[in-house]
Structure 1
Amino acid sequence: RSQGIRTLGTIYVSSLFPDRLPDPDKVMLQHFIGGARDPELFGGIDHMSESELVEATHRDTLKTMLKPSAASDLPQVHGVRIWQKAIPQFEVGHSRRLEQANAGLEAKGIKGLFLAGNYVGGVALRQCVAYGLDVAKEVVAFVETPAKQPQYEEA
């Protein structure tokens, strides 16, 4: 961000989903721009037109991934989508709150409730899948553990 780059991330769609390309000789990129700090650093994206958003991400792509000679090769745009609050922005103390939530569940004796999702294990797809698999293992272990049945005294 200190280098004036607004793009938060870029996905090489052509590598992930090669069968979806309209032209196999081209590279398809998906850019993410904006974020919680964009308004204070750059003025925000709410007022920008679709062409201004494309121009901003293309400029960032030239700075970070392409040769300067590619500046004249304007991208072919297949769509612009704007999602408000698309990626969770964790506040300072988020991890501590999660620890407190888990400790509270344990202190109350609540068993079988597992916290999972992008607010716990990370927002990237790889992190979500990895954390989801870890939690699934915990759930399986919980379900497979025989429950202690209440003991009743005979009258």
Structure 2
Amino acid sequence: MPAWKLGSVVVLAAASAILVGLLSGGEQQGFGTVRPAETAIAEAPAESRLANQLAALHWTLGIRSDQEETWQHFSREMLVLEQATRDYERRLAAGDRLDQAAEQTRHTLIFGAAMADIGQVLTTEQFATLQRVGEALANKVVCRGLARS
């Protein structure tokens, strides 16, 4: 697939993720959905499940040395998103008044931008796997702290 076509697919995927997050109003599970304060997790697990999942995904995708730098950036962004979620939940649990729509938008933008960046260096097959496995990863790990709303 020509690079410009792959780039177009990545941009469309990122734009779709952003649009879904903005329009979901908290109804869709996934990045950008923030749980109500009463179900917030008080403490993050000692060992990040997300970091372990990302390590497994790195292996599954077969990240090459020329893709490693972008993969590391993607992984850091996912961990930033996880930490932002925990921070937001702690603040909600503490009774802070927060703008849920703004937080949902921020999560969606972080995720969409990270997917667009990594999509620029992955092969078509790797990107398809990332989309398939990444959705399951988000629902299984990150969204456990975001969903249930």
TM-score by length of 1: 0.27
State the structure with more CA Rg. 1
Higher strand proportion (structure 1 or 2): 1
Higher helix proportion (structure 1 or 2): 2
Which of 1 and 2 has higher RCO (CA within 8 Å, sep 6+)? Answer: 2
